[in-house]
Each structure stands twice: as C-alpha cells, then as structure tokens.
A and B are shown apart, each in its own frame.
Chain A
Amino acid sequence: MKRALILATATVTLAAIAIAYSVLAAAADPAGPGTALDTARPGRLLFRDESGRVASVAATDPGGPRQVSDTSCQRFHAAAGTAVCLISEVRSGLPATSALILDHDLHETRRIQLAGIPSRARVSASGRMVSWTVFVTGDSYNVGGFSTWTGILDTRTGYPIINMENIQLYLDGKRYHAADVNYWGVTFGADDNLFYATVATRGRTYLVQGDYARWEARVLRADVECPSLSPDGTRLAFKKRSSPTTWRLHVLELATMRETALAETASVDDQALWLSNTAVAYARGGGVWSVPADGTGTPSLLIPHAGSLTVSG
C-alpha cells in the first residue's frame, strides 16, 4: 500500500512538471498574426527568423524593422517569384517532410512529399529550377548511417526528380558506378541547365558540375561541399575542409580554377549565398554573416537570429 502511494505521488508530481513545462513552452511561442510578404519586391533581404517564420528587412538597413510572415519553414529560398520552403511536420503521428513550392505571395502552389530532415534549399535565379536536400538517418541514433536525398523540380515542365542519385557520374573522365553516392547542395546557373553540387562517395566529398538535360555530372575537385554560383556565373563559393573539424569558406574562379580562402576563419556549415558579385552571406552561430568574396576584409554580422537568407527580387 505504501509503495502504491509513493508511486501515485511520484506519477502526479512528474506529470505536473511535464504538463506545466509544456504549457509554458507553448505559451512562449511568440507566433502572432503575420504580415504579407512579396518575395519579388526588390531591395529586401528575406530570411528565416528565430521562430522559424519567413521575415524580411530592407537590404539597406538589415538592423531595421522586420516584417514577419505567417509562413514557417525549416529551410527557405526564393528567386524571381518562386520560393521553396522545406517543412517537417507530424502526419498521422509520424514525422513527415515536404517541399512546398510557393508563389511570390508565399501561397502554396505545389507540395512534394519527402522523408528525412531538411538540409538545403535553392531556387535558380530565373525561378524555374528548384532543388532541395533532405537526409535520412537510421531509426535510432545508436545505429549509425545516413543518406542524403536530393531532389530537383523543373517548374516549367512540373517534373520532379525525388532522388538524383541515378545521374551518370564521371570521375577522372570515366563513368563512375557506386551505390553509395550521396548528393547535396545543388546550385543552378543562369541557363537553368548547368548546375554544381556536392557528391560524397567512399568517404570523400567532391564538387561536381552537372548538365540537367543530358543528366550527367562530372567531378571537378575533391574535399568541397555546398557550392554556390555567383550571380555573374564566374565563381563558386563553397566550404572546404581545412582541418578534420573545420570547414572554411572559399571562392573558386572557374576560368582559372584558382581558389581563395575568405576572411571568415571559423568553421561554417551552410551553403553560402551571394549578396552581390562581391560579397557572400552564410549562417553561423544562429545569425547570418557576410564577408567580402575576394578574401579581404572581415566578417560582419548581417542579421542576428536568422538563417536561410535570400535576396528578394
């Protein structure tokens, strides 16, 4: 009898703590009604704020007043009136991830069901090509293993590729076959056909240049992750392993294949975004930073408590 009493007391106490904390956590959610955002309106910086919602500030005054929308995304990117928003949600008690394609008013036009955890999202400069990366892990973090699934959607034809791992890959000029290829971080060129991406196989990561129409990709160099093509199409920003635990931002000039390390010396885990032809932005430590693209200068905090940066227009 005494045991039952102790158990009942413990159960009630623990349940009260759990419920009280959850109620407080739910109340702390600052989600109020949002305002309308237009991703095609030039002169704004769009980003994901600390509550997960898409927000915007004036590009000339990033510290100024913020407009916050009702749209929540785990990864977000937009260009020329097309936006991609990756969300993880619970459907029928199970985790589910989707890529939402949004118009310039952030209204959903298409929903593609995926699995895994949102990792990267990009829209080509014209707004035509959309790509995303999710990765799936084993059902237990005690049992290792993960796999990335990168998809590409051509919004003009409406044809989605859910996992691009069957693309014909060439390494050192030879057709390369391996079942363990994992792609992530796609960036498209101005013609909406040429693209760059990361491929990992046999424990190494490589930069690949891809041709969407021919559905082939060739390896350009090793130890590179998450490329991002400059607006003028002449340079790639990417992160490159500089020590076993440090990934440092570099810019590669495609004409000369010369690499320059950027002034940010801290490890960066993000797909860089070109603010213009002379500066790149990236997420680090919970905020968005910017640094000159030629290796000079110093990094500066552009927007605190933000991620998934996009230049509107």
Chain B
Amino acid sequence: MYVSTHRLPGRALLRSVPANVLALGLVSLVTDVSSEMVTAVLPLYLVLVLGLNPLQLGVLDGIYAGVTTLVRLAGGHVADRRQRRKLVAAAGYALSAFAKLGLLAAGASVGALGAVIAADRTGKGLRTAPRDALISLSTPPERLGQAFGVHRTMDTLGALLGPLAAFGVLAATGGAYDAVFLVSFCVAALGVVLLVLYVRDRRESVAAEPLALVSVLRDRAFRRLCGAAALLGLVTVSDFFVYLLLQKRLDIAPHLFPLLPLGTAAAYLLLAVPLGRLADRRGRVVVFLGGHVALLGAYLLLMGTPTGALVLVAVLVLHGGFYAATDGVLMSVAGAMLAGGVRTSGMAVLQTAQAAARLCSSIAFGALWTAWDARTGLLTMAGGLVLALLTAWRTTR
C-alpha cells in the first residue's frame, strides 16, 4: 500500500524522528511541566503570601536578563570547547531543579528569592543552546525543521500541563504553595534523570579556535542570520502587550484573560510540526520570514476596528503560528549552517541576539504606547516589521 510521505500519521512521524530528539523532547516536556508549575503560581505566592508590590515584582522580573545572557554565551563556549553538550545541559537542568527547592528555603526574603530566581534563569540560559545543538546534531540536515517541530510540540505540551498540575496541587492541599514547589522539584528531578539516562551526547572535533565565538562570528552568512533575527526581534511586540491589546480592543471580560496565552500555545502546539516539515521542503528561511508575516497580520488585526470572536481566534492563531514558524525553524536554519564543533556557541549567540532585541522591543513598545497610544505603537512596529522583513529577505537569501 502506498503511504504518502507528505502526510505522515503520528506513529510513522515518531519513527522518522531520531530517538535522541524524542528523548530531549521528553526531557523538555517534563521540565516545562515543572517550570510552568512555578511560573503559574509564583506571582500569586510573591504577592499574597509574601506581600510584594507590583514594583518589586517588576524588579524581580527584569533584573537578571543580563546575567542570563552572559551565562548562555559562557555555557555555549564550554560545551563547544570540551565538546560536552550533555554535561552543560544537565548542569542547567539540575540548577533549575534545585532552584525549586531554593524557593522553599528562601522564605520571605526578597534578596534570597531574587537569588533563587536568578539561579533558575541561569539554568535555563545554560541548557537551551546545548539542547538545541544536540537536537540538530542528532538529526539528518534535511529533517531539521521536523525534528525541532516535534521537540517544540512536546515542550509546549509540558507548558500547557504545568499550570494544571500547579493548580491541582494547590486545590488538593488547600493552598500549600510549598507543596507546589516541592512537587515541581520532583518533576524537574525526573527530567534530569531522563536526560542522564536517555539522551546521548554528540561530540564533534574540537573547534580549531580556542574561542568558538570568534570562528562563529567570522562566518558571514551566520552573522547575517543573527543580524536578521535581531532586527526582527526589535519589532516583535512582547506577548503580554499582545494579550493586553486583545483584551482592550475586543473588550474581553477580565476573567477570561488567562485563556489568551493558552490560545497562542494551542496554535503553536498544532502548527509546530507541520510548519517544521514545510520548512524542510520549501525552505527554512522562507517559513521563518513567513512567520513574521503572520505576526504582521496579527498587528494589523489588533489595529483594526472589527471586533468579535473571529478576530480573537485569528489573532491567536496568527500569534501561535508566528512562534511555530520561527522558534524551532530559526534553530534549524542555524543548525544547517554551523559546523558541528561550534554549534552550541553559534546557537547561544543567535538566541542571545534575539532575546536582547526582544527586550529592547518591549521597552520601545512600552514607550510608544505611553507617549502616544497603543495604535501608534502598533503602527510603528508594523512599519518596522515590513522594513525588517525586506532587509532580512535580502540579506539571508
């Protein structure tokens, strides 16, 4: 019987994805359950149990971005220099796991909480690039998009389950936040065990240059990719603003507000594999840029006057589609471009450039919104997005 390779059913799809990618996906799924458990309840805990005000919460939020950036680059360097990707990733996963116990130990001390959150984010910074490098090194180049699609689907599934688990524990224990943190630690520890047991390290020849960063940045095509990603990151409005704008524009009842991020995640979950496979067949850069066209569509809908459920669904599908077409796809572009020995450093640089640009965009959009209004902010970002897309199209092809 003829089975179309273009429409793989689930089982055949899983068989066509390398075991190491599935193992990494499972680790990410379990770890995301753990980390999203904490993310879901941490603001409640900080405000209701510890009495922090919004300003303090904002300080805890933003202060460690710089630390994470440095850690990510350093982690990428070590992973490449020693060719120990699994070890660096495991250190990152373990650090984040112990940060959950740290939340139990920190008590009400804002300083200690800050340190614990910094440790958690340091762990995230450490693990992301080696993990993505392992995914790409375990996969034949022509299937990178699909492999990242499967990984991100599993990752997002974990992120969706995390809050359910957290509120389940809260409901079952009559509001014991410490139980949430401990259960989260146990789940994270299981993730580390899965990583140690089932993920295989991929070692390449050690980079010729003592500093992998230098050789990565000497590659002109890769520099252009980083530039394009950063440029597009500068005109990417942060998720929170998107949800806030949706809520205001469509006059969504406040109690439905927590559903908005779920809409994006659901679209991401459904689209990550198809768009990853499309990227493998039709060109990854095209799909990556196409994702930003979807984002542009979401901006235009947010700016427009039409209201109603259709606009809501359209914006969330475009927003989730944007992530599905860009997040893993960008890593598959980089994976096909970077030599194996310096892949972790390259991915760390790329992720850092994008993250730094998005941080700037958050600040810029907030300023535009404040100085004029949300519409002007969106219009500016949309205009910038068109220019960035044209530039990226010319430089990355």
Please tell me if B176 contacts chain A, counting CB pairs below 8 Å.
yes
A138 lies within 8 A of B238 (CB): yes
B373 lies within 8 A of A179 (CB): yes
Say whether, besides A26-B176, A94-B258, A141 and B374 are in contact (CB < 8 Å). Answer: no
Contact with B along A24-45 (1 / 0, CB 8 A): 0110110100000000000000
Please tell me if B47 contacts chain A, counting CB pairs below 8 Å.
yes
Say whether, besides A22-B169, A29-B174, A202-B370, A113 and B254 are in contact (CB < 8 Å). Answer: yes
A139 lies within 8 A of B194 (CB): no
The interface residues of chain A lying within 8 Å CB-to-CB of B176 are 22, 25-26, 28-29
Partner of A116, one of B51, B187, B243, B257: B257
The interface residues of chain A lying within 8 Å CB-to-CB of B40 are 95
Q: Measured between alpha carbons, how far is A139 from B316 in the docked complex, in Å?
A: 15
Please tell me if B272 contacts chain A, counting CB pairs below 8 Å.
no
The interface residues of chain B lying within 8 Å CB-to-CB of A6 are 193, 197
The interface residues of chain B lying within 8 Å CB-to-CB of A270 are 51
B164 lies within 8 A of A93 (CB): yes
Please tell me if B266 contacts chain A, counting CB pairs below 8 Å.
no
Please tell me if A215 contacts chain B, counting CB pairs below 8 Å.
no
- Chief secondary structure at chain A's binding surface: mixed
Q: Measured between alpha carbons, how far is A148 from B62 in the docked complex, in Å?
A: 18
B362 lies within 8 A of A144 (CB): yes
Say whether, besides A145-B238, A201-B370, A3 and B197 are in contact (CB < 8 Å). Answer: yes
B173 lies within 8 A of A29 (CB): yes
Say whether, besides A90-B171, A95-B44, A95-B258, A3 and B52 are in contact (CB < 8 Å). Answer: no
Please tell me if B163 contacts chain A, counting CB pairs below 8 Å.
yes
Partner of B174, one of A26, A137, A141, A177: A26
Say whether, besides A145-B241, A179-B373, A137 and B173 are in contact (CB < 8 Å). Answer: no
The interface residues of chain B lying within 8 Å CB-to-CB of A31 are 174
The interface residues of chain A lying within 8 Å CB-to-CB of B240 are 137-139, 143-145
Say whether, besides A144-B62, A179-B369, A179-B373, A21 and B179 are in contact (CB < 8 Å). Answer: yes
A94 lies within 8 A of B259 (CB): yes
Within 137-162 of A, Cβ neighbours of B (below 8 Å) are at: 137-149, 162
Partner of B172, one of A26, A94, A145, A307: A26
A10 lies within 8 A of B259 (CB): no
Q: Measured between alpha carbons, how far is A52 from B175 in the docked complex, in Å?
A: 10
Say whether, besides A14-B189, A18-B186, A136-B257, A180 and B366 are in contact (CB < 8 Å). Answer: yes
Please tell me if A114 contacts chain B, counting CB pairs below 8 Å.
yes
Contact with B along A90-102 (1 / 0, CB 8 A): 1001111110000
Within 23-82 of B, Cβ neighbours of A (below 8 Å) are at: 39-40, 42-44, 47-48, 51-54, 56-58, 60-62
Say whether, besides A117-B48, A141-B39, A146-B57, A90 and B62 are in contact (CB < 8 Å). Answer: no
Query: How many residues of B are counted as interface, with CB atoms below 8 angstroms from the partner's CB atoms?
Result: 65
Please tell me if A190 contacts chain B, counting CB pairs below 8 Å.
no
Q: Measured between alpha carbons, how far is A107 from B241 in the docked complex, in Å?
A: 38
Q: Which residue of B lies closest to A241 (CB)?
A: B55
Interface centre among B42, B170, B258, B259 (most CB of A within 10 A): B258
B374 lies within 8 A of A179 (CB): yes
Q: Which residue of A lies closest to B36 (CB)?
A: A140
The interface residues of chain A lying within 8 Å CB-to-CB of B60 are 141
A115 lies within 8 A of B43 (CB): no
Q: How distant is B201 from chain A, measured CB to nearest CB, in Å?
A: 15
B194 lies within 8 A of A7 (CB): yes
Q: Measured between alpha carbons, how far is A28 from B175 in the docked complex, in Å?
A: 11
Please tell me if A81 contacts chain B, counting CB pairs below 8 Å.
no
Please tell me if B112 contacts chain A, counting CB pairs below 8 Å.
no
Known: A88-B44, A141-B60, A146-B58. 9 other contacts (CB 8 A): A7-B193, A22-B182, A52-B175, A113-B254, A136-B254, A139-B258, A145-B244, A146-B54, A269-B51
Where the two chains meet, the residues of B that have a C-beta atom closer than 8 Å to any C-beta of A are: 39-40, 42-44, 47-48, 51-54, 56-58, 60-62, 108, 117, 121, 124, 163-164, 167-176, 178-179, 182-183, 186-187, 189-190, 193-194, 197-198, 238-241, 243-244, 253-259, 261, 362, 366, 369-370, 373-374
Which 5 residue pairs of A and B lie closest in terms of their CB atoms, listed nearest first? A138-B240, A25-B176, A113-B255, A145-B240, A139-B261
Where the two chains meet, the residues of A that have a C-beta atom closer than 8 Å to any C-beta of B are: 3, 6-7, 10-11, 14-15, 17-18, 21-22, 25-26, 28-29, 31, 52, 74, 88, 90, 93-98, 113-119, 134-149, 162-163, 177-180, 184, 201-202, 247, 269-270, 283, 286, 307
9 A-B pairs whose Cβ atoms sit less than 8 Å apart in the complex: A11-B190, A15-B186, A22-B169, A52-B175, A115-B254, A142-B124, A177-B373, A180-B366, A286-B51
